[in-house]
Amino acid sequence: MGIEDDGGLAAELREVVRGEVRFDATARALMTMDASNYRRVPLGVVAPRDAEDVAAVLEVCRARGTPVVARGGGTSIAGQATGTGVVLDFTRHMNGLLELDPDGRTARVQPGLVLDRLQAAAAPHGLRFGPDPSTHGRCTLGGMIGNNSCGAHSVAWGTTADSVRELSVLTARGERLRLGRDWSGAPEGLRTLVEGELARLRTGFPELPRRISGYALDALLPEHGADVARSFCGSEGTLGVLTEAVLDLVEAPAVHALAVLGYADESAAADAASGLLPYGPLTVEGMAADLIRAPIGLPKGGAWLFVETGGASEGEARARAEAVVRAADAVDALVVTDPLAQRGLWRLREDASGTATRMPDGTEAWPGWEDCAVPPARLGAYLRDFRALLTAHGLRGAPYGHFGEGCVHVRIDFDLLTEAGVARFRRFSEEQADLVVSHGGSLSGEHGDGQARAELLPRMYGAEMVALFERAKAVWDPDDLLNPGMLVRPARLDDNLRFAVLPRRPVDVAFGYPHDDGDFRAAVRRCVGVAKCRTESGGGSAVMCPSFRATGEEEHSTRGRARLLHEMLAGEVITDGWRSTEVRDALDLCLSCKGCRSDCPVGVDMATYKAEFLHHHYAGRLRPAAHYSLGSLPVWLRWVARARAAPLVNRLAAVGPLARLGKRMGGIAREREIPRLASGTFSRWWRARPPAPESGGSGQLVVLWPDTFTEHLSPSVGRAAVRVLESARLRVALPPTLLPGRRPVADGTSRTPAALLGARRAQVCCGLTYISTGRLDRARAVLRRTLDLMEPVLEAGVPVVVLEPSCAAALRADLPDLLPDDPRASRLAATVHTFAETLRQYAPHWAPPALNLPVTGQTHCHQHAVLGDTADRDLRTSAALTGPLTGGCCGLAGNFGFEKGHFDVSRTCAEDQLLPALHSAPENAAILADGYSCRTQIEQLTGIRARHLAEVLAEGLEREGRE
């Protein structure tokens, strides 16, 4: 059912709701899934502005019998954040921190507030909210209350229910309740129900710290304070709609230390975990080795416990961590007190929900049994039985999680694409439920039951207790309006699987998708919805996702775009396939920064997906003007260079009316200045140099790649690079020539390889501008020509130095992906080095000039995502350039920031990290940006001239008078 046949529901809601009411295909497609295996298509989405809007939605939907689903960050793993009626999106408006009381240690919040925002506000007062799921950068407090979330620190501070003081709730029938202790806010009939079932409630719940399954009716027992607010936690939006919460805060230790303990396997780690609880740790987290691809910095072992301790000083925190190490019977151990090192280790754990979705061999793995919990003392025995059950079903999984509380997360390589695989998923799920119960455990220890486990609750609680749950639901929501099919009267665990709607056969695509067996469907399935791309602030070196941080819109997040591509393949909500305007519009603000390629825990590469989509979307059709003007930039610039017309072009671009006309015709943002062309190209300068003496360089021969930006727009970077590389005694050549300082001539008298004779005007190109605009046929043609020109270089095995990070990334990643059947593509990709990598590998004993300067600036997003910047950081350190460069994205991102309609988002992206870093930089700081786009953005927004690292080093060599 769509907006055209919703029976007037959308119109009726718009009359009474002040927030956004969206029943369009994009809004519905974005909400079909959470982070689970399930998919439901809603009628529409409402972003309420306040509790009055929520009440209005409930009234309209109640009159029509339309279900209502409350949704926060959409990171639920059991399916409870999906529904077929109206979805309430609390992240748009009802996301405020209303009050922080440091003296009373409480916070009053709205349900859409992201946890990290609360933590940031509480931190200056030495306070924090105790529970902290690994999704803390994007999960909302309302979602945490709905699922009774826990997180790594629950051994110290408990679950969300332990931190809830009061809840403001609207029932489906419009009753406004304020829930608290001593039956405060209880709906009529709830107390009578409980008092008639005291014996059952006192004996029917397992005793363990992570029992999340079912309704927490035992919190209503008189000995537990008849706590209605606590009982509401974990009800998954099925009892009422939360509009406000008063939460307790805890005192945060001033300093943390981290003891990392190595064990033979995860069962041994699990056996040891409960024995560490008497030492008062803040965390006892476990991870198995098969989850970690590169266990750098970890002690020896096949599994590890991360045990965090706190104190008023580093010495106190370390002493507690060392006491844990002494008490632990570990294979190996280390204690980490450096905050950055701790952060790096914790990132391994926090990204596990994503990295676990791929087995080491690339096989897909899925949630479903994501967070069972057993008594901590039984965890080791449970894990051994669990491994045996996996083996019996021919399945694999990598356990990790909250070992100190007996809670295990795992993604399992279920086959959810075939009928036989789904049948095995069901059989395993039933036996797994029985196994958990046999160990005295809970089917859910953190993420709730949702659709994944609710069907199996009778195996844990028995039929009579489940019937009591149904009676409680009827007290709160007699019309079954709120999130029906969850917890009580649930849908079957193998219905509504999100993969069932995808095409049965592979889709014809242009890229090779080598990590997904060439299957675009598998590439799209990579996004499991953990939503790291929705983190509101990148921080550190993170890049993903600049357009979401600029707009706050789900459709402009990596997850949102992946959802739209999924629905495009499904063809139910988005029906136009590759011609879809919904997908096109969502991808329009994708900067192709490739940040998701590295920052997304499952390696979604939206830049590639965007190029693929544009390739199909515009096949046989007229493209936007910018695709021709900016996408064909190498061609235009070569024509200008051959005509030696750069000065004329610069003069014309300086004439206001002509510049405005040119920008309008080229689809370029009116706010942008047209960059000046260099009066002479880098290659022309190179050819004019005196031939290098044969003995001029004793080191490795390297080929310096004349990328379009260095060649035509910033040849000073190329000249500086030559200066530095030759100072390091490397022999430099330009393609297609292999001899330093030589060039092919028509009579063949040079010693240039014969294959290159007459190639003077031929120019290599990485195809970047064609790839970013989705002109993939043209990109392949350009790359094949480039491979032809580079054959002598490949045959000689000469390393290729690429100064522009985006071009280096295109050659290293996009080239072999576009030409997977040409062995030369992977050979060239393997020869590509960045400027700093070249010096590190081929001139390891060369000492750069000692510059003794602070630095700031931008690490290129493609360098972060594809190339890595370790060599650059080491080179800066060797040159006494101190200080980090910012992460994030400069916002220009090649053609993106120049395209019409993108300027505001481009500038907002720069304001996230880059511009604040420039404004706070010391006066004498060197401003570094190896990417031409980054340098252009900095100059156009601030007037500051940033430089490539090669330029700064070359200047230092000149000052020192070095050759």
Instruction: Please give the Cα distance from 100 to 45 (Å, whole number).
Output: 30
pLDDT of residue 538: 58
Q: What distance in Å separates the CA atoms of residue 289 and residue 602, rounded to the nearest whole number?
A: 17
Read off the pLDDT band of 753 (50, 70, 90): very low
Q: How confident is the model at residue 759 (pLDDT cuts 50, 70, 90)?
A: very low
Instruction: Identify the helix (H) or strand (E) that includes residue 108.
Output: strand 106-109
Put residue 462 in one of left, alpha, beta given phi > 0 → left and psi -120 to 50 → alpha.
left
User: In the beta sheet, which residues pair with residue 402?
Assistant: 407
Using one digit for the tens of pLDDT, what is the confidence trace for 670-729?
999 999 999 999 999 999 988 765 544 578 999 999 999 999 999 999 999 999 999 999
Q: What is the pLDDT of residue 742?
A: 45
Do 73 and 170 reside in the same domain of the chain? no
CA distances to 84, 162, 251, 537 from 42, in Å: 4, 33, 41, 29
Q: What is the pLDDT of residue 112?
A: 98
Three-state SS at 821: coil
- The residues, any chain, with a CB within 8 Å of residue 653's CB and separated by 6 or more, are 659, 662, 674, 676
CB within 8 A of 522, min separation 6: which ones?
364, 513, 516
CATH of the domain at 134: 3.30.465.10
pLDDT-based confidence at residue 746 (cuts at 50, 70, 90): very low
What phi, psi does 559 have (nearest 5°)?
-60, -45
| Residue linked to tokens 């014969």 | 754
Q: How far apart are CA 538 and CA 531, in angstroms?
A: 13
Instruction: Report how far apart, in Å, the C-alpha atoms of 467 and of each of 148, 361, 442, 450, 474 are.
Output: 22, 44, 18, 17, 11
Structure tokens at 344: 């790096």
HSE (side-chain half, CA atoms, 13 Å) at 21: 20
- The CATH number linked to 275 is 3.30.70.2740
Does the residue 474 lie in any domain? no
Note whether 866 and 952 are same-domain residues: yes
Domain at 23, CATH number? 3.30.43.10
Average confidence (pLDDT) over 196-215: 94
In angstroms, the CA 127 to CA 102 distance is 8
Is there a single domain that holds both residue 17 and residue 164?
no
Measuring CA to CA, which residue among 446, 402, 404, 543 is closest to residue 211?
Answer: 446
Looking at the structure, do residues 567 and 652 belong to the same domain, yes or no?
A: no
In terms of domains, do 800 and 667 share one? yes
The predicted structure's pLDDT at residue 933: 97
Residue 1 in this model has a pLDDT that exceeds 60: no
- Single-letter code of the amino acid located at 804: E
User: Once rounded to an integer, what is the mean pLDDT over residues 928-949?
Assistant: 97
Give the C-alpha separation, 13 to 589, whole Å.
Answer: 29
Do residues 162 and 21 share a domain? no
Over residues 41-74, the pLDDT tens digits come to: 999 999 999 999 999 999 999 999 999 999 999 9
Task: Point out the domain boundary residue: 558, 593, 622.
Answer: 622
Percent helix, strand and coil across the chain, each to the nearest 5? 45, 15, 40
Tokens linked to 636: 């235009």
Question: What's the rounded Cα separation, in Å, for the pair 401 and 383?
Answer: 12
Same domain, yes or no: 895 and 825: no
- The answer to whether residue 14 sits within a structural domain is yes
My answer on whether 837 and 858 are in the same domain is no
Tell me, yes or no, whether 455 lies in a domain: no
Nearest to 545 by CA among 536, 533, 555: 533
Give the type of residue at 699: G
Q: Would you give the distance in Å from CA 735 to the centre of its chain? A: 38
Check pLDDT > 80 for residue 414: yes
The predicted pLDDT at position 751 comes to 37
Amino acid making up residue 495: D
Would you list the DSSP string of 211-230?
--SS--GGGGSGGGT--HHH
Report which DSSP code applies to 85. S
DSSP-derived 3-state class of residue 823: helix
> Has residue 453 been placed in a domain?
no
CA distances from residue 850 to 15, 435, 879, 950 in whole angstroms, order as listed: 68, 64, 5, 14
Least confident span in 114-123, 356-365, 800-809, 886-895: 356-365
Mean pLDDT of all residues belonging to the chain: 93
Least confident of 261-270, 345-354, 684-693, 729-738: 345-354
Best mean pLDDT range from 348-362, 530-544, 930-944: 930-944
pLDDT over 60 (residue 644): yes
Locate 665 and state its tokens.
């015709």
- The total of structural domains in the chain comes to 6
Look at residue 505 and tell me if it is in a domain. Answer: no
Task: Give the largest CA-CA distance in the chain.
Answer: 104
* Whole-number pLDDT of residue 360: 74
Specify whether the CB–CB gap between 335 and 325 falls below 8 A.
yes
Q: Are 73 and 31 in contact (CB under 8 A)?
A: no
- Residue 866 tokens read as 């594809």
pLDDT at residue 709 in the model: 97
pLDDT value of residue 754:
36
* Structure confidence by residue, pLDDT tens digits, 291-344: 776 667 789 999 999 999 999 999 999 999 999 999 998 999 999 999 989 988
pTM over 0.75: yes
State which of 275-284, 293-302, 953-962 shows the largest mean pLDDT. 275-284
457 by DSSP, 3-state: which?
helix
Q: Which domain holds residue 904?
A: 846-961
pLDDT of res. 740: 58
Are both 231 and 128 inside the same structural domain?
yes
- Give tens-digit pLDDT for 415-426: 999 999 999 999
Final residue belonging to a domain, choices 599, 622, 645: 622
Whether the Cβ atoms of residue 250 and residue 157 lie closer than 8 Å to each other: yes
Of the candidate ranges 394-403, 517-526, 668-677, 757-766, the one whose mean pLDDT is the lowest: 757-766
**Residues above pLDDT 70, as percent of the chain:** 95
Residue 940 neighbours by CB under 8 Å, 6+ apart: 672, 673
Q: Are residues 697 and 831 in the same domain?
A: yes
933-951 mean pLDDT? 97
748 CB burial (10 A radius; 0-12, 13-18, 19+): exposed
Q: Hey, which residues does 926 pair with through a beta bridge? A: 855
Q: What is the pLDDT of residue 156?
A: 96
Cβ contact 410:213 at 8 Å: no
Domain assignment present for 452: no
Strand partners, 928: 857, 947
Q: Is residue 936 part of a domain?
A: yes
Read off the pLDDT band of 954 (50, 70, 90).
very high
Decide: residue 362, CB within 10 A, 0-12 exposed, 13-18 middle, 19+ buried: exposed
DSSP secondary-structure letter at 160?
G
**Chosen domain end from 447, 473, 500:** 447
pLDDT class for 2, splitting at 50, 70, 90?
very low
In which band, very low, low, confident or very high, does the pLDDT at 352 lie, cut at 50, 70 and 90? low
**pLDDT greater at residue 357 or residue 277:** 277
User: Phi first, then psi: what are they for 614, rounded to 5°?
Assistant: -60, -35
Q: What percent of the chain has pLDDT over 90?
A: 88
Query: Taking residues 73-81, what's their average pLDDT?
Result: 95
pLDDT of residue 59: 98
Same domain, 581 and 527: yes
Burial 270-283 (b: 16+ CB within 10 A, else e): bbbbbebeebebbb
Which helix (DSSP H) or strand (DSSP E) does residue 722 occupy? helix 715-727
Q: For residue 545, is the peptide bond before it cis, meaning its omega torsion is within 30 degrees of 0?
A: yes
Residues 109-150: tens digit of each pLDDT = 999 999 999 999 999 999 999 999 989 999 999 999 999 999
Neighbours of 651 (CB within 10 A): 10
Same domain, 339 and 264: yes
In a domain, 495, yes or no: no
Distances (CA, A) of 702 to 697, 726, 832: 11, 10, 10
- The whole-angstrom separation of Cα 76 and Cα 155 is 22
Alpha-carbon gap, residue 610 to 583, rounded angstroms: 9
Please say if the pLDDT value at position 235 is more than 60: yes
Residue 585 CA to residue 341 CA, distance in Å, equals 40
